[in-house]
A and B are shown apart, each in its own frame.
Chain A
Amino acid sequence: MKDICLYGSCCISIQPTFREDYFFDEISEYAENGIKVIDPDYKEFIPALQLRRMGKSMRMAVYASQKAIQNAGNPTIDAVITGTGEGCLRDSEKFVEALWENDGGMLNPTPFIQSTHNMAAATVALALGCKGYNMTYTNNSNSFESAVLDAMLYLNENPGKTILIGGLEEISEQTQKFWDSIGFMNKENPQIPTDLNLNSQGEIVSEGTGFFVASNEQKENCLGKISAVKTAFEVESPQEFILDFLQDNEISPDELDGIILGNNGDSRYDDIYQNLSEFLFQSIPQIVYKNISGEFDSVTSLAVDIVLKIFEHQQIPPILNFNKLEKESYQTILIYNQRRGQNHSLILLRK
């Protein structure tokens, strides 16, 4: 399949990433777990009356998609493809709570409607009047990657079209408590920025979204290209998984200008990245980002945006540079991710 070009992007996260000129110069600090995003002014794109009814995922998706389109020079969008691990979680919780509280009376249908996983992609399409292809993947931490794969397929089938690709996740208090009760979350010392060498247990859970305008026509304002994507639910050896992928794409680890690793400070699983740092990628810049973004299923959408920013600035922000190596030029960067030892993914980007 041919590479696809990215033209505009917008991320909302626990850092002020939605600001166009943001390059990790100012870092918001947190000492909590279950961290909510820094909200942009949603009213910029969403009328107040609609905004009040919209769940978090929907409002984040509409804002980020509109901003990404603006940043891309306002092209017409032909299709919307999203990935979300948990979907509109808060509305799902609200409706379950209403089921329990209700004594047979009438339930408010709004949370039920908005609990549907494709509601963010649908709302984006509705806001744009986009009648084209509309898809939503919901496969744990390989949801955004599934959307990227579909986007590559779609643009190869439909050359000349322009589409939106998005990853999004919202957090919700009750589900956080559930996750906490089974040891998923860092109880001891949740800190953003996270010291990734602290050897603590559990994730620092957050939320966010990243939207991108993509097309397979290469124009001057292309921010970077997605060259390949691969996912696997389980792998015997992450190293072999990565080497096979690099071989398929005819590139060696040393030829990469950087590797984005998903270290999140959970020592139970960061070993996976540690091995790669020591044996496969010891000679190239190792870039991390979950130390300032936290962890969520579609967090790799933020990683893609970071790569685009590194391409633009031709430098790695110090807070993201894990092994302090640098290159003169950044042309090819690989993103590797997994969550709790499962759902391994690779996204290869070229400038």
Chain B
Amino acid sequence: MNNQPIAITGMGIISAIGMNVRENEFSLLNNRHGIKKYSVKNNLIHQEKLVGEILRSDEEFYSELNLNPEKAFTRSTLLGLKAAKEAVQSANLDLNDGLSTGFISATTVGGMDATEKYYFDFLDSDNHKKFIPTQNCGVHAEQIAKKLGIRDYVTTISTACSSAANAIMLGARMIKAGLLDRAIVGGTDSLSAFTINGFSSLMIYSDEHCTPFDDNRKGLNLGEAAAYIVLESEKSAKGKNVLGFLSGYGNANDAFHQTASSDDGEGAYLAIKTALEIAKLKTEEIDYVNAHGTATPNNDLSEGKSLLRVFENVPDFSSTKAFTGHTLAAAGAVEAVFSLLALKNQMVFANLNFQTPMSEFDLIPQTEMKQKKIKTILSNSLGFGGNCSSLIFQIN
């Protein structure tokens, strides 16, 4: 193990607010959110839902990405491939230069969008049988890695809404241990009836635009997205344009309840503490917190409490979920890209839709975009099963 900083040399993203990094950046800097009524007619979804949808069909992605229409690629793979390609290109990676490269991806939906659609059709006709093996979450990572030409290491993490943050963390740890020279890390999740109805069944799907950290918040809006960043060792990144450094990371478990976070934010508190220790930073050195902030009553209370426990003076913080929706396994990577864009633009992005401070504490998110000197950003991702992860991004 060594303590070399992990350089970030590339990024790629597709979300409801843009098809690439440039478009996402433009939307964030212009307060343009991407939450609308779901345009896909899906018989399994009975209510009109507000979602962060990527307005491009699977067929359009097949054609754009030059994929064989006979082969099975589910939407999470399509989104992931699009974003991962952008990340590899932006880092100017030469994958045949003899250095070792890993692809570590996160998903929770996997091939569920196809499975739910064809579940009662698989056995009756041969039309969609090719989608049977794509149900397994690992398939998306294998398919994307193969298209990118990455062979040294491929794996998939699925820890609910903290998945991509954990994929980013694993990449950094493998590079530090000398197992890889560089890693393309992130996550992807498409919308599905499974997740939309799932969160509705938990009564935490808002029928309005989500309002993170607001006292009257009614829950989340789901979104679909994929995002990847390129991590490189000092040696591998030499002479390259560095977007920022991943200097800290931590994962901890709430061990409180299957889905609910603890009232005192214990898991998030422990994850943030670990990330700060690894980055060797004091709390006052954090300039901006990109919060998980899903706008569910439970998450925002628990996360807010954790911030109050960690920080004597809570720094500027905002949740960008009102722009993209909650993109589940991709969220940690989407917000890693947003953190790098915040560093680039020296800008705290707005926490949209906030009106009323929560009754439990007087934490007020940054509701307007704010230009300021930003060197260090903390990004949180908290998931089902009490899985809490924090990442720290820095520029020199």
Q: Which chain A residues border B132 with CB–CB below 8 Å?
A: 178-179, 181-182
Within 8 A of B (CB), among A214-251: 231-234
Is A318 at the interface (CB under 8 A from chain B)? Answer: no
For residue A330, give the distance in angstroms from its CB to the closest CB of chain B: 28
Q: Which chain B residues border A150 with CB–CB below 8 Å?
A: 170
Within 8 A of B (CB), among A53-83: 80
Q: How far, in angstroms, from A228 to B255 measured CA to CA in the complex?
A: 31
Q: Are B202 and A96 neighbours in the complex by a CB distance under 8 Å?
A: no
5 new A-B pairs (CB below 8 Å) besides A126-B258, A139-B138, A157-B177? A112-B202, A131-B266, A136-B157, A149-B179, A233-B146
Within 8 A of A (CB), among B238-268: 251-259, 266-267
Is B15 at the interface (CB under 8 A from chain A)? Answer: no
Q: Which of A87, A119, A146, A182 contacts B384 (CB 8 A)?
A: A119
Q: Are B112 and A118 neighbours in the complex by a CB distance under 8 Å?
A: no
Within 8 A of B (CB), among A150-170: 150, 153, 156-157
Q: Which of B129, B142, B145, B383 contacts A182 (CB 8 A)?
A: B129
Could you give, for residues 138-158 of chain B, a 1 whenever the CB lies within 8 Å of some chain A CB and a 0 otherwise? 110110011000010111111
Q: How far, in angstroms, from A234 to B151 measured CA to CA in the complex?
A: 8
Q: Are A116 and B138 neighbours in the complex by a CB distance under 8 Å?
A: no
Q: Which of B129, B201, B256 contacts A107 (CB 8 A)?
A: B201
Is B40 at the interface (CB under 8 A from chain A)? Answer: no
Q: How far, in angstroms, from A136 to B136 measured CA to CA in the complex?
A: 14
Is B108 at the interface (CB under 8 A from chain A)? Answer: yes
Select the residue from A108, A117, A126, A342 with max chain B CB neighbours within 10 A: A117
Q: How far, in angstroms, from A344 to B259 measured CA to CA in the complex?
A: 35
Is A286 at the interface (CB under 8 A from chain B)? Answer: no
Could you give, for residues 257-291 of chain B, a 1 whenever the CB lies within 8 Å of some chain A CB and a 0 otherwise? 11100000011001000000000000000000000
Q: How far, in angstroms, from A131 to B388 measured CA to CA in the complex?
A: 10
- Nearest first, the 4 A-B pairs at minimum CB distance are A122-B385, A104-B46, A139-B138, A112-B198
For residue B261, give the distance in angstroms from its CB to the closest CB of chain A: 12
Q: Which of B19-27, B118-126, B319-327 contacts A (4 or more CB under 8 A)?
A: B118-126
Is A325 at the interface (CB under 8 A from chain B)? Answer: no
Q: Which chain A residues border B129 with CB–CB below 8 Å?
A: 181-182
Q: Are B159 and A113 neighbours in the complex by a CB distance under 8 Å?
A: no
Select the residue from A113, A118, A136 with max chain B CB neighbours within 10 A: A118
Q: Are B145 and A135 neighbours in the complex by a CB distance under 8 Å?
A: no
Is A198 at the interface (CB under 8 A from chain B)? Answer: no
Q: Are A142 and B386 neighbours in the complex by a CB distance under 8 Å?
A: no
Q: Which of B115, B151, B155 contacts A142 (CB 8 A)?
A: B155
Q: Are B251 and A133 neighbours in the complex by a CB distance under 8 Å?
A: yes
Is B78 at the interface (CB under 8 A from chain A)? Answer: no
For residue B19, give the distance in angstroms from its CB to the closest CB of chain A: 28
Q: Which chain A residues border B135 with CB–CB below 8 Å?
A: 86, 175
Q: Which chain B residues border A96 with CB–CB below 8 Å?
A: 112, 115-116, 119, 194
Q: Which of B154, B267, B384 contacts A233 (CB 8 A)?
A: B154
Q: Are B157 and A182 neighbours in the complex by a CB distance under 8 Å?
A: no
Q: How far, in angstroms, from A123 to B132 measured CA to CA in the complex?
A: 28
Q: Which of B142, B158, B202, B253 contacts A131 (CB 8 A)?
A: B253
The residues of A with any CB-CB pair to B shorter than 8 Å are: 1, 80, 85-87, 92, 95-97, 99-100, 102-104, 106-109, 112-119, 121-123, 125-126, 128-140, 142-143, 146, 149-150, 153, 156-157, 174-175, 177-179, 181-182, 231-234, 297, 342-343
Q: Are B156 and A137 neighbours in the complex by a CB distance under 8 Å?
A: yes
30 CB contacts below 8 A, A to B, read: A80-B253, A86-B136, A92-B112, A100-B120, A102-B46, A109-B198, A109-B202, A112-B194, A112-B197, A112-B201, A116-B108, A118-B159, A122-B384, A126-B257, A126-B386, A134-B253, A135-B159, A135-B166, A135-B251, A138-B137, A138-B158, A140-B138, A140-B139, A146-B156, A153-B174, A177-B123, A178-B122, A231-B155, A233-B154, A342-B142
Residue of B nearest to A104 (CB): B46
Q: How far, in angstroms, from A136 to B112 measured CA to CA in the complex?
A: 18
Q: Are A178 and B385 neighbours in the complex by a CB distance under 8 Å?
A: no
Residue of A nearest to B269 (CB): A131
Q: Which chain B residues border A95 with CB–CB below 8 Å?
A: 194, 198
For residue A106, give the distance in angstroms from its CB to the closest CB of chain B: 7
Q: How far, in angstroms, from A122 to B385 measured CA to CA in the complex?
A: 5
Q: Which of A85, A109, A119, A135 contacts B138 (CB 8 A)?
A: A85
For residue B161, give the distance in angstroms from its CB to the closest CB of chain A: 9
The residues of B with any CB-CB pair to A shorter than 8 Å are: 1, 44, 46-47, 108, 110, 112, 115-116, 119-120, 122-123, 129, 132-133, 135-139, 141-142, 145-146, 151, 153-160, 166, 170, 173-174, 177, 179, 193-194, 197-198, 200-202, 251-259, 266-267, 270, 383-387
Q: Which chain B residues border A130 with CB–CB below 8 Å?
A: 253, 255
Q: How far, in angstroms, from A126 to B261 measured CA to CA in the complex?
A: 12
Q: How far, in angstroms, from A68 to B136 measured CA to CA in the complex?
A: 28
Q: Are B177 and A1 neighbours in the complex by a CB distance under 8 Å?
A: yes
Residue of B nearest to A134 (CB): B253
Q: How far, in angstroms, from A312 to B270 measured CA to CA in the complex?
A: 39
For residue B129, give the distance in angstroms from its CB to the closest CB of chain A: 6
Q: Which chain B residues border A126 with CB–CB below 8 Å?
A: 255-258, 386
For residue A248, give the distance in angstroms from its CB to the closest CB of chain B: 11
Q: How far, in angstroms, from A139 to B252 measured CA to CA in the complex?
A: 22
Q: Which chain B residues border A232 with CB–CB below 8 Å?
A: 151
For residue B296, give the distance in angstroms from its CB to the closest CB of chain A: 13
Q: Are A131 and B255 neighbours in the complex by a CB distance under 8 Å?
A: yes
Q: Are B174 and A113 neighbours in the complex by a CB distance under 8 Å?
A: no
Residue of A nearest to B173 (CB): A153
For residue B84, give the distance in angstroms from its CB to the closest CB of chain A: 15
Q: How far, in angstroms, from A232 to B150 measured CA to CA in the complex?
A: 10
Q: Which chain A residues border B133 with CB–CB below 8 Å?
A: 182
Q: Are B202 and A113 neighbours in the complex by a CB distance under 8 Å?
A: yes
Residue of A nearest to B129 (CB): A182
Q: How far, in angstroms, from A131 to B253 measured CA to CA in the complex?
A: 4
Q: How far, in angstroms, from A65 to B370 measured CA to CA in the complex?
A: 49
Q: Which of B122, B173, B174 contacts A181 (CB 8 A)?
A: B122
For residue B365, give the distance in angstroms from its CB to the closest CB of chain A: 27
Q: Are A231 and B123 neighbours in the complex by a CB distance under 8 Å?
A: no
Residue of B nearest to A121 (CB): B385
For residue A14, give the distance in angstroms from its CB to the closest CB of chain B: 21
Given A116-B160, A126-B258, A131-B270, residue A99 in contact with residue B384 (CB < 8 A): no
Q: Are B197 and A125 neighbours in the complex by a CB distance under 8 Å?
A: no
Q: Are A87 and B387 neighbours in the complex by a CB distance under 8 Å?
A: no
Q: How far, in angstroms, from A109 to B386 measured CA to CA in the complex?
A: 17
Q: Which of B1, B44, B193, B267 contacts A156 (CB 8 A)?
A: B1
Q: Which chain B residues border A234 with CB–CB below 8 Å?
A: 146, 151
Q: Are A118 and B384 neighbours in the complex by a CB distance under 8 Å?
A: yes
